Amino acid sequence: MTGRTFFGHPWGLATLFGTEMWERFSWYGLRAILATFLAASPVQHGLGLSDETAQAVVGVYGALIYLVALPGGWIADRILGPRRSVFWGGFVIMLGHISMAVPVSSPFFVWLGLLLIIAGTGLLKPNISVMVGRLYPEEDDGRRDAGFSLFYLGINLGAFFAPIVVGWLANGDRWHLGFGAAAVGMALGLIQYVWGGHNLRGIGERPVHVEHRRFWPVAGIAAAATAIALGAWAATGTLTIDRLTVAITVVILVVPVAYFSYILLGSHDLTEDERIRMKAYIWLFVAASVFWMLYDLAPSKLLFFARDHTELSLFGIPIQPATTQSFNPLFIMIFVPVFAALWVKLGTRVSTPQKFGFALVMVGLSFVVMAVAAALAGPRKVSVWWLVLVYLIQVFGELSLSPVGLSVTAKLAPEAFKGQMLGVWFIAVSVGDAVGGQTGRLGRVLSDPMYYLVLAAMAVVAGLALFMFTRKLRGMMAEHHESVIR
């Protein structure tokens, strides 16, 4: 390779690495304090929501972030092109954080900010990954995989430092200072993206398929219908934030049901083998949704536990509740190479259903640990090392499920749905986040230890079911070998 390189890769990777690192800084920084801000009283400059409602809001917020990746990819492919989609997505994200940083008591700017961040992330997140892939020749699979590994390092660096910095700034009810730091992070990412744009060598400048006519009428009708429905609901006097989260969760649950029904019940010239593989994939989709349902309670239920029931000190150094959100990306950076080497060594001896089953058992076990910690907490606080152990166990699960998710999705997708199905994997995360947010309602009838045990039982039972039916699923998947992609 001639010219300047970034650890032996095209210098354009440095531009995308920095952009994604700062975007993830803004995303994880906001996520680390959002639930506690929503639940803080107005005296503490928060919104005064109950912990249960705050958990539901964080759940649907995360769910919508993953759901809008589908239309975001479509807009890039047909209207803006990936390069402009990433820029405008980052710009809208920055506006969202600025909106949340406005130091006024009205919640309007908070909800506006969250909507802007959701819309912007839908444009940026799926398309920046596309541009990373296009930096390499089609046949250069090895270097492309290595490039993505560096790219994911940027993601986790941003995710690690954000909760520490933003949590420290937001301490003392300075929430809007924390939101402002997230806005600055996204602004730095945009500056890096524009400054280094010439290194991208024209990649992603044009959409793959130009299609403007249908988009704007459909988008306008959808926006108008949503506004009318919400207005009519508000007019009845029954619209509340809590009920709105339930309605959004129901809509999100309908999406995969409708999509899989469309694939399996329509003709689409699917072969019998493709239908069988699709049925196997539904099992894995449900398993992944259960996994994310527990795993993505980190920025809500587990954050509240850190706030209320833990001694916030590591090695004698005081930390903020938000800092506990840095444990996960730290462990990911440590163990990614370990698990990558492990899967290569094990080869075909461990199947995809077994990896998914192990992930579910691990996330279930982490909640057994949480149940013990919650029982010990009672009237006193427990060591923050309980949460360290929980996140360590969860990362073992994530590295068994997340890296192979897109790979198995591409493998099992019918030929007619190859492009669309890659977005379906993110719907599993969306479903898990939305349902996980609603599990806070179990607190009305269950103690905290029982809450964690009930969710742990769900995950472990689902994991054991995958182990029991591994042979059948492998037959349906026609699985003989697979490559692990991170």
State the Cα–Cα distance between residues 406 and 341, nearest whole angstrom: 19
- How high is the mean pLDDT of the chain? 89
3-state helix vs strand vs coil in the chain, percent to 5: 80, 0, 20
H helix and E strand count, the chain: 17, 6
**Confidence tier at 481 by pLDDT (50, 70, 90):** very low
State the Cα–Cα distance between residues 274 and 268, nearest whole angstrom: 11
**Confidence tier at 212 by pLDDT (50, 70, 90):** low
Does 1 score more than 60 pLDDT? no
Name 211's Cβ contacts closer than 8 Å, sequence gap at least 6: 78, 79
- The pLDDT of residue 383: 96
How does pLDDT run across 168-205, given as a tens digit for each residue? Answer: 999 999 999 999 999 999 999 999 999 988 888 777 77
State the Cα–Cα distance between residues 309 and 336, nearest whole angstrom: 30
Q: In this prediction, what percent of the chain has a pLDDT beyond 90? A: 61
How does pLDDT run across 382-412, given as a tens digit for each residue? Answer: 999 999 999 999 999 999 998 788 778 878 8
- The pLDDT of residue 484: 34
Does 444 score more than 50 pLDDT? yes
State the Cα–Cα distance between residues 420 and 126, nearest whole angstrom: 13
For the segment 106-119, the average pLDDT, to the nearest whole number, is 94
- The pLDDT of residue 209: 62
Does 3 score more than 70 pLDDT? no
The DSSP annotation for 348-401 comes to GGS-HHHHHHHHHHHHHHHHHHHHHHHHHHTTS-EETHHHHHHHHHHHHHHHHH
How does pLDDT run across 42-89, given as a tens digit for each residue? Answer: 999 999 999 999 999 999 999 999 999 888 887 887 788 888 999 999
Report residue 235 as tokens. Answer: 């007019």
Long-range (24+ apart) CB contacts under 8 A made by 464-471 are 464/357, 464/361, 465/357, 466/283, 466/287, 466/353, 466/354, 466/356, 466/357, 466/360, 467/353, 467/354, 467/357, 469/283, 469/353, 470/351, 470/353, 470/354, 470/357
How many residues make up the chain in this entry? Answer: 486
**Confidence tier at 486 by pLDDT (50, 70, 90):** very low
Reading phi first (left if > 0) and then psi (alpha if -120 to 50, else beta), residue 203 is in beta
For the segment 442-469, the average pLDDT, to the nearest whole number, is 96
Higher pLDDT among residues 446 and 419, named by residue: 446
- The pLDDT of residue 320: 95
Picking from 477, 486, 485, the residue whose alpha carbon sits closest to that of residue 351 is: 477
How does pLDDT run across 288-308, given as a tens digit for each residue? Answer: 999 999 999 999 999 999 999
DSSP conformational letter for 446 = S
Helix (H, G, I), strand (E, B) or coil at 213: coil
Name 465's Cβ contacts closer than 8 Å, sequence gap at least 6: 357
Q: Residues 207, 75: contact at Cβ < 8 Å?
A: no
Give the global pTM: 0.90
